[in-house]
């Protein structure tokens, strides 16, 4: 029973355009994000993802690889942006200004 108390359970999540990969891990108490990534790297679904170079977060907050994990944490692996959001918004605004709206 003492061994079970020394473990924590965390999820690693990677969102893809048409679904998500969720991996649940049981780690030792005091484990860090890098420990979870090392264990997750052995999973076939996560092997193709650059775990070391990706931006990571826990419950929506960006964290470093040295972050100590707590029981129930959800490590999120963020994909790189395809386009800067400001640039995309400007493009949409420019193209909306040129074409007449048909929904009025």
Residue-wise pLDDT tens digits, 32-74? 999 999 998 888 888 888 888 889 999 999 999 999 999 999 9
CA distances from 17 to 26, 72, 85, 94 (A): 27, 25, 17, 26
The band of 76, judged by pLDDT with boundaries at 50, 70 and 90, is: very high
Q: What is the pLDDT of residues 78-102, one digit of tens each?
A: 987 777 778 888 888 888 766 555 6
2's tokens: 């003492």
Provide the CATH number for the domain around residue 57: 3.10.20.30
103 inside domain: no
27 inside domain: yes
72 inside domain: yes
28 inside domain: yes
Specify the number of domains making up the chain. Answer: 1
Task: Say how far apart CA 60 and CA 50 lie, in whole Å.
Answer: 19
104 inside domain: no
90's tokens: 């400007």
Q: Which residues form the domain of 36?
A: 2-98
């Amino acid at each position: 029973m003492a061994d079970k108390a020394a473990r924590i359970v965390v999820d690693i999540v990677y969102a893809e355009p048409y679904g998500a990969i969720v991996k649940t891990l049981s780690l030792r108490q005091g484990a860090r994000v890098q420990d979870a990534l090392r264990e997750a790297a052995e999973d076939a679904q996560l092997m193709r993802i650059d775990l070391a170079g990706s931006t990571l977060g826990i419950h929506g907050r960006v964290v470093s690889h040295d972050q100590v994990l707590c029981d129930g944490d959800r490590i999120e692996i963020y994909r790189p942006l395809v386009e800067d959001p400001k640039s995309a918004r400007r493009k949409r605004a420019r193209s909306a200004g040129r074409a007449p709206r048909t929904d009025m």
